[in-house]
């Protein structure tokens, strides 16, 4: 594969002297600076204009609790909001991209703010065996969530290269950093870090200093692919042939406008469906929408476009999941099997 070609100094393709870069065939950087700063100004001006979520977008707390109870004895998937999920495979509970805080920024009270509450507070989560984080952006890696998490002693954390220190400084003793195509195994669960088309930054001077990744999660005879956050790129066809097929792909469908700026980092709903199909996924699960406003599109446009794209690309309606925040679906022998 092209991304495995070492450079002149024997580094993998995606390693650079100052950090990391996207796989070959990813969208190029072509953004006009004035257009970018106009976009930033729009987001600042509109930051406090919270949309109104439609009825049924978030399930009742009692239903959330019942759904979380299913994880005690069954393989299941719960959408906690945005890109955060609780996944159980083979009796192991996995927490994905734990953003359960209020703001997606380094400063409380400033920046993007959730317009719906998380399905559950970090302190109320059931015991977690494994936490997987795709990259260091604030809407995927939330410091208040990580700090208030009650299961640090038992939980093993798997992150891309460079993010281990973040967790060790916050009291986590079992942390594994993975490069693309490396894996970690935990009592029958196998987690492999794979490429994504994105970037990283958490401060003013650390752009792309830590790696970003998607993850293949295998256990109990099933395979789930968690995209994390990604734009579309040529790499997914290669990954599907090498690592697929998958029972399900958790796919980001929001934060895609304006396209000249976002195409390098965020897929449209149509591209998300294409990515899922190229990865060989039987079930496509929408995420990264309906929780926080990051970009210019209507926050409730993505699921409609996702459903239409799935139908247009030959995905059966039952295999294109648009979950409610807090909803749990059982992953039975006849996947998918709704709770």
Task: Write out pLDDT tens, residues 167-193.
Answer: 999 999 999 999 999 999 999 999 999
For the chain, the structural domain boundaries read 56-330
Token pair for 292: 């926080």
Question: What is the model's pTM?
Answer: 0.94
CATH number for domain 56-330, candidates 3.40.50.2300, 3.10.530.10, 3.60.15.10, 3.40.190.170? 3.60.15.10
216, pLDDT greater than 50: yes
Percentage of residues in the chain having pLDDT higher than 90: 81
Task: Tell me what pLDDT residue 338 has.
Answer: 46
Mean pLDDT of 102-127: 87
Q: What is the C-alpha end-to-end distance of the chain, expressed in Å? A: 39
Q: How confident is the model at residue 231 (pLDDT cuts 50, 70, 90)?
A: very high
Angle between helices 269-278 and 235-243 (to 10 degrees): 40
Mean pLDDT of 29-35: 78
Cα separation, 168 vs 162, whole angstroms: 12
8, pLDDT greater than 90: no
* E strands present in 162-213: 175-178, 183-186, 189-194
What DSSP state is assigned to residue 216? E
Task: Tell me what pLDDT residue 339 has.
Answer: 41
Residue 4 Cα distances to 11, 13, 212, 238, angstroms: 9, 6, 16, 12
Q: How confident is the model at residue 137 (pLDDT cuts 50, 70, 90)?
A: very high
């Amino acid at each position: 594969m092209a991304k495995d070609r070492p450079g002149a100094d024997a580094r993998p393709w995606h390693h650079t002297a100052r950090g990391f870069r996207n796989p070959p065939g990813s969208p190029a950087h072509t953004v006009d600076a004035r257009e970018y700063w106009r976009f930033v100004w729009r987001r600042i001006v509109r930051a406090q204009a919270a949309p109104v979520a439609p009825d049924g977008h978030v399930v009742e707390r009692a239903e959330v609790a019942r759904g979380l109870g299913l994880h005690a004895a069954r393989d299941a998937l719960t959408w906690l909001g945005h890109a955060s999920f609780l996944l159980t495979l083979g009796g192991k509970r996995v927490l994905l991209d734990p953003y359960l805080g209020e703001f997606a920024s380094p400063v409380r009270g400033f920046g993007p703010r959730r317009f719906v509450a998380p399905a559950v507070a970090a302190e109320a989560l059931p015991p977690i065996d494994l936490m997987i984080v795709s990259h260091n952006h604030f809407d995927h890696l939330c410091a208040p969530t990580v700090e208030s998490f009650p299961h640090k002693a038992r939980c093993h954390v798997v992150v891309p290269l460079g993010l281990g220190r973040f967790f060790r400084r916050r009291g986590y003793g079992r942390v594994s950093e993975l490069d693309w195509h490396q894996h970690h195994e935990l009592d029958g669960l196998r987690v492999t870090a794979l490429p994504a088309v994105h970037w990283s930054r958490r401060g003013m001077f650390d752009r792309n200093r830590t790696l970003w990744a998607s993850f293949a999660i295998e256990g109990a005879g099933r395979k789930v692919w968690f995209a994390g956050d990604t734009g579309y790129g040529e790499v997914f066809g290669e990954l599907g042939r090498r690592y697929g097929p998958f029972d399900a792909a958790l796919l980001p469908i929001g934060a895609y406008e304006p396209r000249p700026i976002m195409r390098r980092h965020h897929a449209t709903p149509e591209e998300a469906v294409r990515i899922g199909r190229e990865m060989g996924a039987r079930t496509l699960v929408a995420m990264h929408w309906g929780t926080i406003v990051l970009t210019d599109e209507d926050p409730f446009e993505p699921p409609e476009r996702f459903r239409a794209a799935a139908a247009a690309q030959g995905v059966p309606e039952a295999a294109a999941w648009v979950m409610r925040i807090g909803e749990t679906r059982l992953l039975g022998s006849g996947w998918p099997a709704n709770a």
